[in-house]
Amino acid sequence: MDEALRARILEVADRLYYTMGIQAVGMDLLRAEAGVSLKRLYQLFGSKEAIVEEVLRARHGMWTALVEDAVAGGGDARHRLLAIYDMLARWFDQDDFRGCVFINSFGELGATAPRIAEIVREHKASFQARLAELVADAGAPASLAPQLAILAEGAQTTAAIAGTTEAAGHARAAAEVLIDVALSARAVADGGYSADRGSRAVSVRGEG
């Protein structure tokens, strides 16, 4: 019973926080929308910050699933990296898209709620670590991963502000250039590049 009630409250909190902002949603509004007493709300969670933390943890799981679904579509590592930007385009096109909940939460609470800031940083670090794995699979330099992460993060913020999906396409095009340049540079350094490392084969020939 408690678990079902907690899940309902977190679902309502997620919707309200994402559409209105965390600071704009007081416990009274959350109580009313969830259909529970204020006393019961505090019994279950203890504080508003605890609710925010659980909402962010759930969102982390959702984001991770979206990324994994995108990269599971097949193809080589280069295509799996680019598939993340295709996923962003689909997400940006949803009617309820309001930007990245982690960026939004950090903007509201990062300076005053250290635990919230920590959760946001952990989430972003996790995404970059997953990109690093894909970059390694492609045989590209490790420095490519943070560059691709910045493109994804910037696309989310830009899409939220502009209200269009175009940022995903721009980020994908830039990512494609960065990936191909990185792979070509590695091919030059290695004297050739093997397709079985997960990238397109690149041949390097000297001119004589």
C-beta separation of 101 from 59 below 8 A:
yes
- pLDDT tens track of the chain, all 208 residues? 689 999 999 999 999 999 999 999 999 999 999 999 999 999 999 999 999 999 999 999 999 999 999 999 878 999 999 999 999 999 999 999 999 999 999 999 999 999 999 999 999 999 999 999 999 999 999 999 999 999 999 999 999 999 999 999 999 999 999 999 999 877 676 665 444 444 443 333 333 3
Residues 89 and 183 in one domain: yes
Task: Read off the pLDDT of residues 78-88 as tens digits, 9 standing for 90 and up.
Answer: 999 999 999 99
Question: Rounded to whole angstroms, how far apart are CA atoms 55 and 90?
Answer: 22
Residues 70 and 164 in one domain: yes
Structural domains in the chain (count): 2
Task: Read off the pLDDT of residues 151-197 as tens digits, 9 standing for 90 and up.
Answer: 999 999 999 999 999 999 999 999 999 999 999 877 676 665 444 44
Residues 25 and 60 in one domain: no
CATH number for the domain that contains residue 144: 1.10.357.10
CATH number for the domain that contains residue 26: 1.10.10
Residue 204 located in a structural domain: no
Residues 20 and 95 in one domain: no
pTM for the full model?
0.86
Residues 40 and 80 in one domain: no
Residues 145 and 171 in one domain: yes
Q: Is 142 exposed, middle or buried (0-12, 13-18, 19+ CB in 10 A)?
A: exposed
For residue 201, the model assigns a pLDDT of: 38
Residues 187 and 86 in one domain: yes
Residue 199 located in a structural domain: no
For residue 35, the model assigns a pLDDT of: 96
Question: Rounded to whole angstroms, how far apart are CA atoms 155 and 140?
Answer: 22
Residues 68 and 19 in one domain: no
Domain with 140 in it: 56-191
Residues 40 and 122 in one domain: no
CA distances from 33 to 15, 27, 198 (A): 10, 10, 49
Residue 186 located in a structural domain: yes
Residues 41 and 62 in one domain: no
Question: Rounded to whole angstroms, how far apart are CA atoms 50 and 104?
Answer: 17
